[in-house]
Amino acid sequence: MAGIAIENVRKSFGSMTALKELSLNVEDGEFVALLGPSGCGKTTLLRIVAGLETRTSGRILVGGRDVSDLPPRERKLAMVFQNYAVFPHMTVYENIAFGLRMAKADRTKVERQVQRAAGLMHIEHLLGRHPGQLSGGQRQRVAVARALAVEPSVLLMDEPLSNLDALLRMEMRAELKAVLREAGTTTLYVTHDQTEAMGLADRIAVMHGGRIEQLAPPMAVYRTPATVFVGSFVGAPPMNFLRCQAADGAVAIGALKLACPRNSGEIVMGVRAEDLLPATAGTGLPFEVRVVEPLGSHALLTGTAHRQQIRVVYAGERDVSAGETLHLAPIAGRICWMDAADGRAIEGTT
């Protein structure tokens, strides 16, 4: 078993900087998700760890061993690719056995490991087929089984579920989590899907513009985003951000008065859509409803408060209709104060 240490890794393509000096520690057996929009450098970082991409500077350590200059085959890791990359001219069995055969494992070991990996992914009945005869979901299972068969200490996954349909994705997500937890495999997982990252990871590294904006457990990322970007990228709907004026260490919006960590000037108040609860008229934040989307367990309201657009998750008894004005009060302790200039969370406020 082994952890991954990424130390001051930087990557530029010509004049374009893909990764700004970046460090990340993945503990032994931990599942870390690299989450970010496309072009944020998350896949580049994963490929550098895999050895498929060169770094401009910095070091990569796997299990304490510097692998920075080793070719991929000597890094002792396994990888699952976005488009599966199952070898089309080999049977499923040979695909899964590929890594073991390359490592010159003996016949009984190959047989045992292939059966075990196939069993974990529930594809024992497909071993004799060729990938051309499989569906996308089955190919994905083969790709994961191929990675698991070598019993890697470190597993890299590059958006492995993004080509599957929604239902299959949910099913695979749960299975992956169970299998990897069981095996205790250190996993670095790239995704742009925040529900995937939230559901799977022990810790999430939210990336933006070639740097890690925040590295924290899922709920911490959700509740206390380090920057405005993290708050608006993680969670559906995204976090609401209201620009307000501070005066004497407090902000006043309508009848709502809240203590804030700035004495004067502009400040940004971040609050999750479900953390705004209806209050009695005349108190709280006036919210003019423009759109009502009933979603079963709750309704999603879009409207304006303090002349800015916000979204509110409404689970109240009474039906709400567009054009109405609600009064809202935030749950105490669920407000994140952000610096209006650089969009960073103000320390010690949450």
Partner 1 sequence: MRPRSLLFWAGVATMCAWVLVPIWLIAAGAIGGRQGVFLWPKSMLPPEFTFSALAVFLRIEGVGKALWNSVAAAAMTMAFATLLGTPAGYALARFSFRGQNAYRLLILLTRAFPIAILALPLTVAFINWGLYDTTLGVALVHTALALPFAALVTSSLFVGIPRELEEAAWIFGCTRLQAFVKIVLPLALPGIAATGLFAFVISWNEVFAASVLTVRERTLTAYLLTVLSESPLHFRFAGGLVLILPSVVFIFAVRRYLFAMWGIANR
Site residues, partner 1 (CB under 8 A)? 50-52, 71-73, 77-79, 81-83, 85, 87-89, 98-99, 102-103, 146, 150
Residue 84 per-residue DSSP state: B
As measured in angstroms, the least distance from the Cβ of 84 to partner 1 is 8
Report the alpha-carbon distance of residue 311 to residue 302 in Å, rounded: 5
- What is the C-alpha separation between 85 and 163, in angstroms, rounded? 12
* C-alpha dist (Å) from residue 96 to 72, 172, 295: 18, 18, 42
324/343 Cα distance (integer angstroms): 32
E-assigned strands of the chain? Answer: 4-13, 16-26, 31-35, 57-62, 65-66, 78-80, 154-158, 186-191, 203-208, 211-216, 240-247, 250-253, 256-259, 264-271, 276-278, 285-294, 299-305, 308-314, 325-330, 336-339
Nearer to partner 1, 12 or 350 (CB): 12
Instruction: Pick between residue 111 and residue 324 the one whose CB is nearest to partner 1.
Output: 111
Nearer to partner 1, 60 or 340 (CB): 60
C-beta of 100: minimal distance to partner 1 in Å?
9
* Least separation in angstroms between CB 62 and partner 1: 13
In the bound complex, what is the minimum distance in angstroms from residue 267's beta carbon to partner 1?
47
Tokens matching residue 167 = 């239902």
Provide, rounded to whole angstroms, the least separation between the CB of residue 124 and partner 1: 21
In angstroms, give the least distance from the CB of 53 to partner 1: 10
Taking the least distance from each CB to partner 1, the nearer of 148 and 268 is 148
Q: Cβ-count burial of 291 within 10 angstroms (0-12 exposed, 13-18 middle, 19+ buried)?
A: exposed
Answer yes or no: are the C-beta atoms of 194 and 40 closer than 8 Å. Answer: no
Considering the complex, state which of residue 102 and residue 341 has its C-beta at the smaller distance from partner 1: 102
Residue 213 beta carbon to partner 1: minimum distance, rounded to whole angstroms: 28
Partners of residue 66 on adjacent β-strands:
61
SS3 content of the chain, % helix, strand, coil (to 5): 30, 35, 35
> Over the Cα atoms of the chain, what is R_g?
24
How many Cα atoms occupy the beta-carbon half-sphere of 137 within 13 Å? 15
The CB-of-63 to partner 1 minimum distance in angstroms stands at 16
Q: Which is nearer to partner 1, 48 or 246 (CB)?
A: 48
